[in-house]
Homo-oligomer: A and B are copies of this chain.
Amino acid sequence: MPFTYNRIIHFQDTDAAGVVYFTNILSMCHEAYEASLLAANINLKTFFSNAAVAVPIVHADVDFLRPLYCGDEVQISLQPRLLGDSEFEVEYQVLGERLMAKAVTRHVCIGGDRKRLVLGDELVGWLRLWEGVDNELPSQ
């Protein structure tokens, strides 16, 4: 089941070309990611400023299909996917009238020494909550 996040395009999101500045699409996707963590009862303040364990983004890509304007309503749908013991990616679809943009972020769990760590229970719980059915084991 994907998580969904609703957002109105702010004036600050736009640039002098009259549409959303490209990197702000990724920032909105990150807002959706934060909302999905919050919905899994994860404390954002602790999660994002923990010096001992962090899951920084190591890769992001984004396709811009249609322009977005100030006041536009979008729904961002998000689905995480486990890639390994210490790594996951999140797929985002930004929906307006139609599909406006899609993006992926890849995250790696590291310790204070920046070496890989196995993902903790909290994040695994979050993954289980919002990941797609294709990740689930077939029921016998």
Q: Which of A's residues lie within 8 Å of B, judged by CB?
A: 8, 10-12, 14-19, 21-24, 26-27, 30-31, 34-35, 38, 43-45, 48-49, 54, 56-65, 67, 69-72, 105, 114
Give 19 A-B pairs besides A22-B105, A44-B71 with Cβ atoms closer than 8 angstroms. A8-B38, A10-B30, A10-B34, A11-B15, A11-B44, A12-B30, A15-B48, A16-B16, A16-B18, A16-B19, A16-B70, A17-B48, A17-B54, A22-B26, A23-B26, A45-B72, A48-B70, A59-B64, A60-B60
- A56 contact set on B, CB distance < 8 A: 17, 19, 22, 64, 67
A interface majority secondary structure = mixed
- A8 contact set on B, CB distance < 8 A: 34-35, 38
The residue of chain B having its C-beta at the shortest distance from the C-beta of A35 within the complex is B8
Interchain nearest-CB distance for A8 vs B (Å): 7
Provide 6 A-B residue pairs closer than 8 Å at the C-beta atoms, listed in order of the A residue. Answer: A11-B48, A16-B45, A22-B56, A22-B57, A59-B63, A61-B62
The answer to whether B57 and A71 touch across the interface, beta carbons within 8 angstroms, is: no
Contact of A27 among B23, B65, B72 (CB under 8 A): B23
The residue of chain B having its C-beta at the shortest distance from the C-beta of A105 within the complex is B22
The residue of chain B having its C-beta at the shortest distance from the C-beta of A67 within the complex is B56
Interchain nearest-CB distance for A19 vs B (Å): 7
